[in-house]
Structure 1
Amino acid sequence: MKFIQKTLVAPLFILICMVGVLNAQPRFSGTLRSLQNGKSSFDSVVISFFRPNCPEGVVGQAIRLRTDKDGNFSFQLPKYEGISRMVFWTRYKQKTVNGTGFLHYMVEPEDQIKIDIIRNDSTQHAELAFSGYGAEKYNIAYQLEKIAPSRGPFGTYRKTINKDIVLDKPENFAHKLLQLEKLTIETAQAKTDLIQQSGLSKKIKKMLTYNYGAIYHEWTWRMNDYRAKYSKQNPEVSELIKASFLKNKQRFSYPFDPLMANCPNYLATVAVDEARNLYLTNGKVDLPALYKVFESKYSGLTRELLIANMALKKIGFVREMAIDNHVIDSLLVAYEKYITKPFIKEAYTTKVRLLAGTPIFNGVFKDISGSEVAMASLKGKVLFIDMWFTGCGACMEFHKIFHKQVYPVFKENKDFLCISLCIDKNNSQWLNSVKSGKYTSQEYLNLNSTLGVDHPFFKHYGISGFPFLILLDKNGKIYASNINPKPDAIITLINKALML
């Protein structure tokens, strides 16, 4: 009897622990240490997390925290039904530590993870190691992204190509393409071996395969770049590249699987890969053809997310694709029927509010003198609206180019007005930025929301990324919002609006 009691104690203890894990929220703790001395100081840790099946362009939630004096930190995430997504990065002496913020991790509800971060102070780079319940998939994802990252810095696959397989002389292309094929096969096999040797479930192994180590994405990028370079100057080489692509694309790509809907990294890369596939196969690519691929090749939630990603974040646009705002808007309307998940539909509907011909939301803002200015009061002119915030490097760069190359073309036109719309909550900070000339010019109509992105105008359109550009016609209706930021494209667009 005593023997029976002892044998039952261990299974019962394990069962109690498992119930505790299954009922817990995902929990994370970690330690940041210096490689040089093993010590740590106060560092910052930022965590962004997203609910399951969250499309690109939808802002997640964020946690910001400081480590204690020993470099320790901890946090927990909401318990979602299904696999969510998390990205975190650390900062040391006000600088982001390289190697911590390039990977979007898959988070299961029961994960209990310990993160060890070793920072090299001389290179400002860090290495990560994961332990605890559910840690194996984190470690494998981390290793796979070093091969061919879906997001972030170059991996070993690309570095090897750049070093050993340089396609520079057309007469060597046939041999070099065979070398590239061999390297890709070997790299893909190494990826497969790493995943299959793990003790993870069949489902998680598949998702790791799709979501990390984007070898096919790297390969299509390389092939696309080669063909674009030689398509006109050497048609024979262009056909050679096409033949190599057609020979290998089935080998290196993955057939559709519903699990792909749970793999945001993959959905972001495969949209671009499908566009490249069209270009490599046909010598051209356009947006309607890409939407047709999404419609015919994919189904269910995967198709819904591909279409949502395209609408919300332009995931799938490639440089060989012509951008026509009216075509984009018509496709948004035509493919809205595939958007069914409520929170995705909400984000998609917000995007539809920016369609050409839609009256602009009558937001009210403050000018430099403190007076209120309503959008509705500015009818009668073509309005170019540039939205920005203090500290935005991309905003500074856009203003520099716009003010030098675009604004001089229209500054004397009485039917044109440039509106510089800032989201700074600190009014003094905004006024100082206006005076600095880094983000705007005092020649424009400078307005401030004073409420940041919480202003009704930004909430109405779901605007969270900057700079954000909108062009209005003389009737106060949106003429374009998917604006190509190149000066020539903007000049052409404004001229068309002025001719109406």
Structure 2
Amino acid sequence: MTRIFKYLFASLFSLTSSSLSAHQSDIYQDVIIEGTLSEKLIENLKKDPNVFYYSEHIPGYSQNATKIPIEIQENKFKVRIPMHESIGYLGLGNSVVRTIFANLILVEAGDSLSINSRNQWETKFSGKGSERATVQVQYPQTLLPINYNNHLKYSDYLEVLLDSLKTKKEIALATIQNLPNTSTLAKKIMLYNIYGCIDINYLEIINSLNQYEKMNKAFVDLNSHLKHLNANDDEAVNMSFMLILAHYSAIRAIAYHDNKDIDAIGLNVLECINKNYDHVVKDRLLAIAFIRMGKRSDLLLSLLPKNTTTIKDKLSNAILKEIAETKLPGRPAFKFSFTGLKGNRISLEHFKGKTIILDTWFNGCLACLKLAELMEPIAKHFYQNQNVVFLSINAVDGFTRFASGVSEGKYGSSQTIYGYTAGLGLTHPMIKHYQYTSFPNLLIIGKDGNIISSNPPWPVNASKAKEFIKLIEDKL
């Protein structure tokens, strides 16, 4: 990947702009977003009529978002976003607009955007900042993998791919250099984010082709150039979450190649981050690692306190502290409240003195069906034990799909107690508390109301089933 970067990063620092930087003014103009959406998109927006604004962002974490209500009339909407810094990210509720940056749009203070959208992939912008927004919407379609020709050898294919990605980076540089109404800082953030997306695309393909040596070289190149950027432009790098995510993708792919055990992968990832990175980038990589892998490994969670002693980045520190408070064994479980099939209330206090095995699911989730199947031996083992409760919560669906899933009898056992979030979905307080964004999830709560495990081992075989049962019986 060295030759991809050689020209591009040399050219990058020639970007110039007369816009104010984040440190030159304490007064920032509001950002105004208004627009006209198709009937389908406006209905989607009505389900979550808010803008979520981030002054800074780490993938997989949304608790630091400022939630701002949107005014909706017929198929039109409008929202005003108070700005306390020169640059930030925003996303429309229900991902109404698709962008390269995880469906977030980079905006600058004073932007006044008008959106006209027929669907999530056909969005037109006008107004101040529209050229910048247009680039962010158009790029997802240009980053699809190039067609693979079976007659090409892997090495030939990768050379074609390399040339393709180099061209995409050159186009991105030329496009962003000429953006009007865009500060130097915003141009750099956009470029770094686009480079990060392209690098992730490259890493995914060479990983799928099992090109381990090229993956290692890609990691070395990425790390070398990141250190160069950090030395010259740490503010832009810290705001470029897709660039940092590209590094995590490389670290994770290399660790996975060496070992398929989730605990071993986690240890390798932490070792690599602590060895090769420093400052804010290191802090944010650790935050991403614990967000993504902490929910699957109790061993990794046990190392959280040790890995937070040197964290200086405020957002990373807040995230890791929150993970520790919500997921480490011995911490108080969230005092949840759900709605049952008959409209009855299901809460933590109802099961005082009992051990709770709680899972979350949604109708149609294949992994959820698999987990329910794996949990059958556990349910049978505790069938006559009145002190063990199996609680299965539909975290996404409305009542009709929730009830339909329960009636199928495939998402739990005969003694399972079912509940759902009563229309709140992913905004339900407990779902947000444990940062559940994918499903299924398992949680074991002890009779004292404290967490036994937020990452219990899935009973995929007899050995793991015994481990799961012992985890519960030791606390009865």
TM-score (normalizing by structure 2): 0.71
Structure 2 partner of 1:320: none
Trace 1:310-329 onto structure 2 (pairs within 5 A). 310-314=289-293, 324-325=297-298, 327-329=299-301
1:105–1:314 distance in 2 versus 1, CA, 3 Å: farther
Residue 207, structure 1, aligned to residue 182, structure 2: no
Q: Give the whole-Å Cα distance in 1 for the aligned partners of 2:375 and 2:333.
A: 26
1:433–1:276 distance in 2 versus 1, CA, 3 Å: closer
Instruction: Give ranges in structure 2 of 5+ residues lacking alignment.
Output: 1-25
Q: Percent same amino acid among aligned pairs?
A: 15
Answer yes or no: is the 8 Å Cα contact 2:87–2:107 preserved in 1: yes
Q: Give the whole-Å Cα distance in 1 for the aligned partners of 2:466 and 2:87.
A: 45
1:68–1:479 distance in 2 versus 1, CA, 3 Å: closer
Q: Give the whole-Å Cα distance in 1 for the aligned partners of 2:100 and 2:214.
A: 36
Trace 1:301-380 onto structure 2 (pairs within 5 A). 301-314=280-293, 324-325=297-298, 327-340=299-312, 345-361=317-333, 363=335, 374=349, 377-379=352-354
Q: Give the whole-Å Cα distance in 1 for the aligned partners of 2:165 and 2:414.
A: 54
Q: Describe the SS at the equivalent of 1:348.
A: helix
Of 465, 468, 472, which aligns to 1:494? 468
Structure 2 partner of 1:234: none
Q: Give the whole-Å Cα distance in 2 for the aligned partners of 1:298 and 1:41.
A: 42
Structure 2 partner of 1:288: 267
Greater CA drift, 356-365 or 125-134: 356-365
1:268–1:145 distance in 2 versus 1, CA, 3 Å: same
Answer yes or no: is the 8 Å Cα contact 2:290–2:301 preserved in 1: no
Answer yes or no: is the 8 Å Cα contact 1:44–1:65 preserved in 2: no
Q: Alpha-carbon deviation of 1:218?
A: 0.9
Which amino acid is 2:455 matched to? Answer: N
Q: Give the whole-Å Cα distance in 2 for the aligned partners of 1:31 and 1:204.
A: 26
Q: Alpha-carbon deviation of 1:312?
A: 3.0
Q: Alpha-carbon deviation of 1:209?
A: 1.6
1:330–1:98 distance in 2 versus 1, CA, 3 Å: closer
Q: Alpha-carbon deviation of 1:129?
A: 2.6
Of 76, 79, 85, which aligns to 1:75? 79
1:194–1:242 distance in 2 versus 1, CA, 3 Å: same
* Aligned residues: CA RMSD: 4.6
Q: Describe the SS at the equivalent of 1:309.
A: helix
Q: Give the whole-Å Cα distance in 1 for the aligned partners of 2:160 and 2:346.
A: 66
Residue 266, structure 1, aligned to residue 243, structure 2: yes
Q: Describe the SS at the equivalent of 1:357.
A: coil
Q: Give the whole-Å Cα distance in 2 for the aligned partners of 1:455 and 1:177.
A: 43
Residue 217, structure 1, aligned to residue 200, structure 2: yes
Answer yes or no: is the 8 Å Cα contact 1:387–1:467 preserved in 2: yes
Q: Give the whole-Å Cα distance in 2 for the aligned partners of 1:307 and 1:464.
A: 19
Q: Deviations over 1:147-198 (max 9, x none)?
A: 22xxxxxx2xx1x1xx2444x88xx233233223322322322222222343
Q: Alpha-carbon deviation of 1:310?
A: 2.5
Which amino acid is 1:384 matched to? Answer: I
Q: Give the whole-Å Cα distance in 2 for the aligned partners of 1:22 and 1:362.
A: 40
Residue 384, structure 1, aligned to residue 361, structure 2: no
Q: Alpha-carbon deviation of 1:435?
A: 5.4
TM-score (normalizing by structure 1): 0.68
Answer yes or no: is the 8 Å Cα contact 2:395–2:426 preserved in 1: no
Residue 32, structure 1, aligned to residue 4, structure 2: no
1:42–1:464 distance in 2 versus 1, CA, 3 Å: closer
Which amino acid is 2:32 matched to? Answer: R
Structure 1 partner of 2:376: 407
Q: Give the whole-Å Cα distance in 2 for the aligned partners of 1:424 and 1:198.
A: 40
Q: Give the whole-Å Cα distance in 2 for the aligned partners of 1:312 and 1:493.
A: 24
Instruction: Give ranges in structure 1 of 5+ residues lacking alignment.
Output: 1-20, 35-39, 149-154, 228-240, 318-322
Q: Alpha-carbon deviation of 1:439?
A: 5.3
Q: Give the whole-Å Cα distance in 2 for the aligned partners of 1:185 and 1:361.
A: 49
Structure 1 partner of 2:158: 177
Q: Give the whole-Å Cα distance in 2 for the aligned partners of 1:432 and 1:164.
A: 42
1:30–1:482 distance in 2 versus 1, CA, 3 Å: same
Greater CA drift, 45-54 or 475-484: 475-484
Answer yes or no: is the 8 Å Cα contact 1:103–1:145 preserved in 2: no
Greater CA drift, 458-467 or 209-218: 458-467
Trace 1:85-164 onto structure 2 (pairs within 5 A). 85-88=89-92, 103-117=103-117, 119=118, 126-148=121-143, 155=144, 158=145, 160=146, 163-164=147-148
Q: Alpha-carbon deviation of 1:104?
A: 1.3
Q: Give the whole-Å Cα distance in 2 for the aligned partners of 1:85 and 1:401.
A: 37
Q: Alpha-carbon deviation of 1:114?
A: 1.9
